[in-house]
Amino acid sequence: MDKDTTRHTAGLEAIRHLVATVERSQQNKDPEEFLGLFHPDAIWTTAHGKVLIGFEEIAEFTRRVLPAADWDGTVTYEVAHVLFVRDDVAAVKVRQCYQGAGEGSEGAPLYVVSRQDDGRWLLTACQNTQVLRPGPA
């Protein structure tokens, strides 16, 4: 295995771990665990288009909204595709599926993640997108 393949393999593993942590924090409606995944200068756009710039805006919104979410917490996140823009920056396409209350709801987030000097990958620029299903014909 060459050096680039090894580096990307390690990056893929770390990115899958990051997405698994997003899933766990959402299932547990745990804002602090979720917020621990963000770069201080991150940008987040919610599924309904609310733009949050910087950690403080993301934190205020998350602490208010996540614990009060009206779904039962059963949601899965699956890494659908990873594009390494550079060795330390990746675009990550995620498939987000809600089960139970709101069953059939789906999201298609795009996370731009960056590897920090300490090796951690953090959410840096993210867009959550609700998947709309066509109505009956």
CA–CA dist 122, 64 (Å, integer): 22
Is pLDDT of 25 > 60? yes
Does residue 44 fall inside a structural domain? Answer: yes
Does residue 137 fall inside a structural domain? Answer: no
Place of tokens 């990958």: 121
3-class secondary-structure state, position 18: helix
Query: For 116-134, how does the pLDDT look when each residue is reduced to its tens digit (9 = 90+)?
Result: 999 999 999 999 988 887 7
Does residue 121 fall inside a structural domain? Answer: yes
How many structural domains compose the chain?
Answer: 1
Q: Tell me, what CATH number does 84's domain have? A: 3.10.450.50
Does residue 136 fall inside a structural domain? Answer: no
Does residue 40 fall inside a structural domain? Answer: yes
Is pLDDT of 87 > 90? yes
Which amino acid is it at 99? Answer: Q
For residue 115 the two structure tokens come to 């590897």
Does residue 27 fall inside a structural domain? Answer: yes
The residue range of the domain holding 59 is: 3-131
Does residue 48 fall inside a structural domain? Answer: yes
Query: What pLDDT, on the 0 to 100 scale, is given for residue 2?
Result: 46
DSSP 8-55: HHHHHHHHHHHHHHHHHHHHTT-HHHHHTTEEEEEEEE-TT--EEESH
